[in-house]
Amino acid sequence: MSEKPVKEEAAQTVSPRQWIRLVVVYLLIPLVLLICGGDFGWWQAWLYSLLIFAAGIGGRMWAEQRHPGLIAERQSSENFHNAKAWDKVLAPLMAVSLVFPMVVVAGLDHRYHWSPEFPLWLIVIGFTLISLGYAFAAWALTENRFFFSVVCIRADRGHVVCDSGPYRFVRHPGYAGNIFPLLGIVLALGSVWALIPAAVATIITVIRTALEDQTLQDELPGYQDYARRVRYRLIPGIY
């Protein structure tokens, strides 16, 4: 079942305050990384900051252009009120775990030299994983009109299954696109110790994926048929 146009009256307008809030969050990430690293000449930190800012803000601008009102709905208190009880805990926990513990640990590792120096080819692989992962996640956001920040079924918004774009390959491409950069951050920022928060973030994401997938199969019409066509949740041929 493909997406249908959402009712015109359901669309919200994203406010300047909401854009400012997003920009502040995505500027806070490099600030934390550079302060923890104690090295404003750390080129890997600047490149990573550029990539996450471009994906985070650029991806949302692209999504808002395709689906006006999506960014406002992602910050909607109504959606959070309608979210599953377990996701009111997991959604913010996942949002924080995917970035901030990673940049804190990687930054401190750089400052205190806990890890051995990584060769350039590993750093390049890391940035490749980050770029591809964030691009895949941004594609998912722009493709799915109902890419809410919490797990909720909005029949009043005409909520239907999205099976186009990256959803042809895995059922949760947004989550998949945020998992692969975790290893990329470890390599790109040269921090073995960042594997610990990366593992924690991966576990949280996999748990949330399983719970969300079950909710969609139980409550969203057409999702069970979609799940039979697209068998894997995150990694084709594996999970």
* Average pLDDT over all residues of the chain: 92
pLDDT in tens, 59-112: 999 999 999 989 888 878 888 888 999 999 999 999 999 999 999 999 999 999
Q: What is the pLDDT of residue 6?
A: 43
Instruction: Give the other-Cβ count within 10 Å of 199's Cβ.
Output: 11
B/e letters for 19-32, b = 16+ CB within 10 Å, e = fewer, are eeebeeebeebbee
Cα angle 204, 71, 23; round to 5: 80
For the chain, counts of helices (H) and of strands (E): 11, 0
Quote the pTM value. Answer: 0.91
| Residue 166 in tokens | 């990256």
Find out whether 180 and 51 touch, Cβ atoms under 8 Å: no
Give the pLDDT band (50/70/90) at residue 18: confident
Q: What is the pLDDT of residue 4?
A: 42
Q: Is the pLDDT of residue 3 over 60?
A: no
Residue that the structure tokens 């934390």 belong to: 32
Residue 238: φ, ψ to 5°: -125, -55
Torsional sign, CA 224, 228, 234, 238: positive
Cα–Cα distance for residue pair 60/141, rounded to 1 Å: 8
Q: What is the pLDDT of residue 74?
A: 85
Instruction: Give the other-Cβ count within 10 Å of 102's Cβ.
Output: 26
Q: What is the pLDDT of residue 76?
A: 80
| Residue 238 in tokens | 């594996």
Q: Which position has the higher pLDDT, 75 or 188?
A: 188
Q: Is the pLDDT of residue 31 over 70?
A: yes
Cα–Cα distance for residue pair 175/197, rounded to 1 Å: 16
Mean pLDDT of 199-203: 98
